[in-house]
Amino acid sequence: MWIIAKKEINDFFSSWVGYTIITVFLTTTTLFTWVLDNQFNLLNAGFADLNTFFSLSPIILIFLLPAICIKSFSNELKTGTIEILFSKPIKNIELVLGKFIGCFIISVFNIIPTVIYFIGIYSLKDDTALIDIGSTITSYVGLLLLSCSFISISIFSSILSNNQIVSFIISIFICFFLFFVNEFVDFINDPKVYDMINYIGIKEHYFSLNQGIISIKDFSYFFALNYLFIYLSAINLNRMKK
């Protein structure tokens, strides 16, 4: 499993594509949160926090993480190297987890440099202004859990087709739908149905952590969502062997 993860990381950083993806993420977040005059600009927010950055990041990651993960299996299927992996003494779930861990570590490399945004906010704030460090920490935890969810979805999507473009589109669609599903339920009058659909959506759980609220409900949700798509990925690999 760890060998698979290491191979995934090495493959990512062995080409210019990997560095380009990281550069795109950091450049985009820097421009929107510090340079461009828009609703996500930290300097226009008037508060010493990173809420605008954490609001912007999911939108970028919906496109970025599928771009990182689509090669996980679709490329193996296209080149036929999946047969080599199947011949190795490794379980399907271990193969999927290896890919998942590798992609997650890559996503961490994307997120770590953004800590400098917090340092920037801290250095620019008034001496009397307070920064909610606890909320910032839980927001980063939420961002990592969100990344895990998009990664597990993207890996599942990459198994569905050997065409990377098709896998990319499927992944973006699922990620977008699960994150924004609560935006489409305002017309529902039944409170139980409304709450159920809201619970299904990633957005509610992500922004709950963003507000500094630590809840078992939110952690359980992310665990269940990741487990579901990792399990479905393993099932699909098992189907290919037959």
DSSP per residue over 50-85, as a string? -HHHHHHHHHHHHHHHHHHHTHHHHHHHHHTTHHHH
Q: Among 149, 162, 171, 62, which Cα is nearest to 104's? A: 149
Residue 206 is predicted with a pLDDT of: 93
Portion of the chain with pLDDT greater than 70, in percent: 93
**Mean pLDDT to the nearest integer, 76-86:** 78
What's the one-letter identity of residue 177?
F
Beta carbons within 8 Å of 50's beta carbon, 6+ residues apart: 42, 117, 118, 121, 136, 139
Total number of residues shown for the chain: 242
pLDDT tens string 205-239: 999 998 888 889 999 999 999 999 999 999 988 87
Domain housing 169: 2-241
Mean pLDDT on 111-140: 81
Number of separate domains in the chain:
1
- Round to whole Å and give the CA distance between 60 and 222: 19
Look at 39-43, 153-157, 166-170 and tell me which has the smallest mean pLDDT: 39-43
The first and second tokens of residue 134, run together, are 């606890």
- Give the confidence band of 154 by pLDDT, cuts at 50, 70, 90: very high
For the chain, what is the total number of helices (H) and then of strands (E)? 13, 0
**Banded pLDDT at 127 (limits 50, 70, 90):** low
207 CB-near residues (< 8 Å, 6+ apart): 142
pTM value? 0.91
- The chain-wide mean pLDDT, for the chain, equals 86
Q: What is the pLDDT of residue 43?
A: 73
CA atoms of 163 and 79, how far apart (whole Å): 11
Cβ distance 42 to 121 under 8 Å?
yes
**Bigger pLDDT: 151 vs 19:** 151
**Separation of alpha carbons 38 and 140, rounded Å:** 22
Q: Looking at the predicted structure, is the pLDDT value of residue 58 above 70?
A: yes
